[in-house]
Amino acid sequence: MRVVFLSPAYPPEMVEYARGLAEVGAEVYGVADTPRDQLPAAVRPYLRDYLHVPRIMDEVDVMDRVSAWLRGRSIDRVLANWEPMVELAARLRERWGMPGMSYDTARGFRDKQLMKERVAAAGLRVPRSRRVHTAHEARAAAEEIGYPLILKPIAGAGSADTFRVDSQGELDAAIRSLVGVPVVSCEEYIDGQEYTFDTLCIAGKPVVESVMAYFPKPLEMRMHEWVSPIGITVRDMEQESLQGGITLGRQVLSALGMGDGFTHMEWFLTSSGEAVFGEIGARPGGAKIVDQMNYTCDVDLFREWARVACYQSFEGHAERKYNTAVIFKRAQGHGRITRIDGLTEWLRACGPWVVEERLLRPGALRRDWKQTLLSDGWLVVRHPEWNEALQMAQAAASKIRIYAQ
Ligand SMILES: Nc1ncnc2c1ncn2[C@@H]1O[C@H](COP(=O)(O)OP(=O)(O)OP(=O)(O)O)[C@@H](O)[C@H]1O
Ligand SMILES: [Mg+2]
C-alpha cells in the first residue's frame, strides 16, 4: 500500500496520522512546502520519501510536481486530513484514476454555500442563505433573509472573518471588513447551543460517531480574548436531546456522498429542540478533537483512520467511557508568560481525571490566540459523569489564570 499524504507535518497533529499510516503498513510519500531539512524529527520515521514543493496552495503546480516525482511508481491512495488539502487530494486522485472521493464530492464538503444547497436538497434543515459577491448583493440578501444574520467566507476556517450582523449599519461595517474576500455566505442567524458531529466512515457509514458540545459558541470564543474555550465530548450519545442532531448528521453524510475517512460537522440545537445544520468538512476536526475522541473511548483513531483509508477496515473499540473536556487557556497581557495561578489547586482537586496538562510555562512567548485555538496551552480532563466533567472544565476556565508581560 503506497500512500501520498499531503501536508504530513502541518498542522502538527498531522504527524499522528502519518504515524497511523506507517503503523498499518503503508509506505507514506509526504508532500508539503516545508524544506526537507526543516521537517520535524517526529514525522521522519513515518515517511518513505518526501517532496518539497515551493507553494502547497498552488494546485496546478503541485499536481505537476507530484506527478513528475512519482512517475514510474505505482500509488494506491492520495490522502489529506488538513482542510485546504482536501480538494487537491481529490484532484490528484482523479488525475491518476484512483479510488476515493471525487473532486465534485470534495467541493460539497468545502464550499459552504454548495454544501448547504446539497443538504437542503435532501430535505434537511439548513440556515437560509445566499452566496454574495458585492455589497449590493449582500444588502439584497439581508433584505430577503432578515436580521440577525451571519456573514462569512465561503471557504473559511477558525471563524475568521465571520460576523454576526444585527442591523443595516452593522451590515455596512461587516461589508467593509470583508473587502478582499471575493465570495461571502450571507445566512440566517441560528440561535442555539452548538455541537459537533464527528465521524469516521467506511463508504459513508460511520464506524465511529461522536458529539462534542462547545462552551461558549465558537463565534464568541473568537470574539473575546478573555474566554477560555471549552469543548466536551458527550459520553451518552443515546440521550434524547441529541437524537435530532445525530440523525441529521447521518443524513448529511449520505446527501453529500461521503466515502471513507473522517468528517467534522457542526450543528445547532435551538431552544425549541430543532437540530439545524451548520457546516461540515471531509476531514477530522482540528484543535484537539481527535485526541478527545481517543480519550473518550481509549482508542487510537489516528491509526484506525489509516486502516479505514487504506483497507476500509476498522479494528478499534469505540465504546464511550468518558465525557472528555479540553480547556484552552489565554494569558492576560502581552509578551512572555510570567505566572500561572490556580493550576496546582485545580490539579489537586481533579486528581486522576486530568489526562493532559500542556499550559505554556513562565518564560514562554504567548501564542497568537486569533491564529490558533491552542492559544497559551490546554488541559484535558475526563469523567464518566457529564456534570463532573463540566464542573472540572468550568473550574479550569475560571480559576486558572495565566499572566504575561
Ligand atoms: N447561521 C449561523 N447562525 C448562528 N451562528 C453562526 C452561523 N454561521 C456561523 N455561525 C457562528 O460562527 C462560527 C463560525 O462559523 P463556521 O463554523 O461556518 O466557520 P468556520 O470559519 O469554518 O469555523 P471553524 O473553523 O471555527 O469551525 C460558528 O461556529 C457559529 O458560532
Ligand atoms: Mg465551524
Q: How far are the Cα atoms of 331, 341, 350, 357, 396 from residue 345, in angstroms, in the given order? A: 18, 9, 9, 13, 10
- Contact predicate 326/292, CB 8 Å: yes
Residue 380 CA to residue 327 CA, distance in Å, equals 7
- For ligand 1, which residues put their CB under 6 angstroms from it? 127, 150, 152, 156-160, 162, 187-190, 194, 217-219, 266, 278-279
What is the CATH code of the structural domain delimited by 2-100?
Answer: 3.40.50.20
Q: What is the pLDDT of residue 158?
A: 60
**Which cell numbers in the block locate residue 333?**
497581557
Protein residue with least CA distance to atom 22, ligand 1? 157
Distance from residue 266's CA to the centre of ligand 1 (Å): 8
What is the CATH code of the structural domain delimited by 191-316?
Answer: 3.30.470.20
Print burial letters for 112-121: b (CB count within 10 Å at least 16), e (below 16): bbbbbebbbe
pLDDT in tens, 198-252: 999 999 999 999 999 999 999 999 889 999 999 999 999 999 999 999 999 999 9
Distance from residue 279's CA to the centre of ligand 2 (Å): 6
pLDDT in tens, 20-51: 999 999 999 999 999 999 999 999 999 999 99
For 358, how many CA atoms within 13 A lie in the half-sphere containing its CB?
13
**Which cell numbers in the block locate residue 321?**
467511557
Residue 256 CA to residue 260 CA, distance in Å, equals 13
pLDDT in tens, 70-126: 998 999 999 999 999 999 999 999 999 999 999 999 999 999 889 999 999 999 999
Delimit the domains of the chain by residue range.
Answer: 2-100, 128-188, 191-316, 322-405
Cβ-Cβ contacts under 8 Å for 9 (sequence gap 6 or more):
15, 18, 30, 32, 34, 39, 40, 42, 43
User: pTM for the complete prediction?
Assistant: 0.94
- Contact predicate 295/232, CB 8 Å: no
Strand runs labelled E in 203-353: 205-215, 230-233, 261-269, 275-281, 323-328, 337-341
What's the mean per-residue pLDDT of the chain?
A: 95
Helices then strands, each counted (H, E), the chain: 13, 18
The class level of CATH for 128-188 reads alpha beta
Distance from residue 229's CA to the centre of ligand 2 (Å): 14
Protein residue with least CA distance to atom 23, ligand 1? 159
